[in-house]
Structure 1
Amino acid sequence: DKSAVDRPWRRSFLGYSVSWHKRQVRLRVAPKSLKAFMTKLRPLLKRSRGQSLTTTIQKLNPVLRGWANYYRLTASKRPVAALDGWIRRRLRLILWQQWKRPRTRARCLMRLGLPAPRAWMGATNGRGPWWNSGASHMNTALPKRVFNGLSLVSLLDTMNRLPSQP
């Protein structure tokens, strides 16, 4: 399995794979590496850890910086952007779980700038935490700039900022 002969875009080497793009070969993150990284992040982003969001972000940042530094040579940014969004959604899920009651959720959403009717509709919709973490009321209340203010490392921004030569 490790020494198989196949097309380069079907194989991976050191976590990288290649893509065929307009007759030009580009490096990309191997799909298996993305899944492995998400599996590594899940314990850090568990909803029942009983920690504040800032503590979770502090524990998450070194892992994100290291991963972004290793995969800075990749040319395809779409999977990295999707992974970035997934991390922020998991953090929104942690907040939704910490707020627990509909009244607390509505109060916190209003504190974050949502109008009262929209906050109450979002807080009392009866949907699960994962659905609510991706819903528009949570995305409006907690956009990317809020997480940037909490000093969350953005994978895409870090990879764009780092030089692409090793």
Structure 2
Amino acid sequence: MNTEKSKATSIFAQKNFKFLGFCLGKNGRGIFIRVHRKSLDKAKKTLKLLTKRNRGRNVHRVMQEVKVFIRGWIGYFRVADMKRTLLSWDEWMRRRFRMYIWKQWKKPRTKVANLRKLGIPADKAYQWGNSRLGYWRIAGSLVLKCSITNERLAAAGYFSILNYYESLHLCC
């Protein structure tokens, strides 16, 4: 018998109480179920591995892999209150996909041409296409947010984490 895992204790007395990936939270409105920090960290680490820049896969395929993972993960943790966390994850994932796309464009000439196709003026496209800033920094820039919009990502197959959670959470 594992004495670390097997014990009788108050769930509020123990700070790091974890049961099947869940824990309880307490606020002014009462007690609620939430996802334990370790489970959140593990899921985010998996998402990071799925959206690594050097995987060399088509962005649609990566979006599909992320969708499969997210549907299973949220299906398990849907009873927990995590709307604020998933809102930040949604923003983070969109930025990861913008970074992934920017990396796939590779050469400055391709970056400029694709920015022009997406409606960015020629001077701005040239300036940002030849920028020496890192991928993550450019992915958060206004130029990519305006060219690779949330709507374009959704049309390409981006799966909104928050929308899926809210559709399942309303059923409970």
Question: TM-score band (shorter)?
Answer: 0.7 to 0.9
Deviation (angstroms), 1:124: 2.2
Q: Which residue of 1 aligns with 2:108?
A: 102
Gaps of 5+ in 2: none
Is the contact between residue 102 and residue 123 of structure 1 (CA under 8 Å) also seen in structure 2?
yes
Gaps of 5+ in 1: none
Q: Choose the corresponding residue for 1:37, options 14, 21, 43.
A: 43
Sequence identity of aligned pairs in percent?
30
Please give the alpha-carbon distance, in whole angstroms, between the structure 2 residues aligned to 1:90 and 1:132. Answer: 11
Change (3 A) 1:34 1:163: closer
Q: Deviations over 1:125-147 (max 9, x none)?
A: 21111111122211121222222
Please report the TM-score for the alignment, with normalisation by the length of structure 1: 0.87
Largest Rg, 1 or 2: 2
- State the Cα RMSD in Å: 2.1
Is the contact between residue 16 and residue 30 of structure 1 (CA under 8 Å) also seen in structure 2?
yes
Is the contact between residue 54 and residue 150 of structure 1 (CA under 8 Å) also seen in structure 2?
yes
Please report the TM-score for the alignment, with normalisation by the length of structure 2: 0.84
Q: Choose the corresponding residue for 2:151, options 142, 145, 156.
A: 145
One-letter amino acid of the structure 2 residue matched with residue 91 of structure 1 = F
Change (3 A) 1:21 1:101: same
Q: Deviations over 1:108-157 (max 9, x none)?
A: 12212222222222222211111111222111212222221122221110
SS class of match (2:34): strand
Is the contact between residue 57 and residue 151 of structure 1 (CA under 8 Å) also seen in structure 2?
yes
One-letter amino acid of the structure 1 residue matched with residue 22 of structure 2 = Y
Please give the alpha-carbon distance, in whole angstroms, between the structure 2 residues aligned to 1:117 and 1:10. Answer: 54
